[in-house]
Structure 1
């Protein structure tokens, strides 16, 4: 069965957490024309013609954006994203665990990566939907 780009999500994002109950967030560039400029967000991006699945998309995006390899990424949720004047679009959220140091990664997009505990997120410039998503996921895992 072939999946067309028009059916279902065409964007994939990664909800990455560590053993300390923190979540890896990406500070996006503050430039016009991108989704959520200058805000904290999840790593990810759009499906490209060479991607056979959204699983391939998220692995490619993590490699391209941060040189990050997370072998075990599992689908977690499909969320609707809103981007100002553009129509809403669906995003496949994948979840994975990584305990590395984000300052050691080579970031090719955005400003920086940083670990945050869920209780800190409302103090950041971040989409409320990401705060909700992180809290929902945090309730499913046991952390210190």
Structure 2
């Protein structure tokens, strides 16, 4: 997959098959304001996509998740609504207390059952990534 892709995100599930979602700030100038999404961000400097998502998880939520694997690449739009880009989505498992994480960006983190996710206001690309995971796993 093209290393020119700057965006990264982490699709995280727990042992119960719930998804860890991030409620984004509802402020101008950010992508997908006010939606539930996946933790992530852009690569910096010479980072690989995997280095970037590990840094973003640590910076935004104090998370270190072993066993992250590249899962899919999704198309997205920028904060202007017109700029097109792509996001490498990594997948991993973690079963901790979302409310106890030291969140530094966004409003909150929360676990959602697979059946609830389609009813949430989500960024299109994150919704597609979760749907792909739901179609490819048995939980």
Shift of 1:57: 0.1
- Counterpart of 2:53 in structure 1 is 58
TM-score normalized by the length of structure 2:
0.91
d(CA) in 1 for partners of 2:45, 2:85: 18
Residue 80 (1) aligns with residue 75 (2):
yes
Deviations 1:73-96 (A, max 9, x none): 000011111234331101100000
d(CA) in 1 for partners of 2:76, 2:104: 23
- Counterpart of 2:43 in structure 1 is 47
Q: Summarize the Cα distance change of 1:74–1:7 in structure 2 as closer, same or farther, 3 Å threshold.
A: closer
Superposition RMSD on alpha carbons, in Å?
A: 1.6
Aligned residues: 137
Once the two structures are overlaid, the 10-residue window that deviates more, 121-130 or 109-118, is: 121-130
Answer yes or no: is the 8 Å Cα contact 2:89–2:129 preserved in 1: no
Answer yes or no: is the 8 Å Cα contact 1:13–1:91 preserved in 2: yes
TM-score normalized by the length of structure 1:
0.88
Unaligned stretches of 5+ residues in structure 2? none
- Counterpart of 1:19 in structure 2 is 15
Q: Which among 121, 125, 131 is matched to residue 129 of structure 1? A: 125
Answer yes or no: is the 8 Å Cα contact 1:11–1:47 preserved in 2: yes
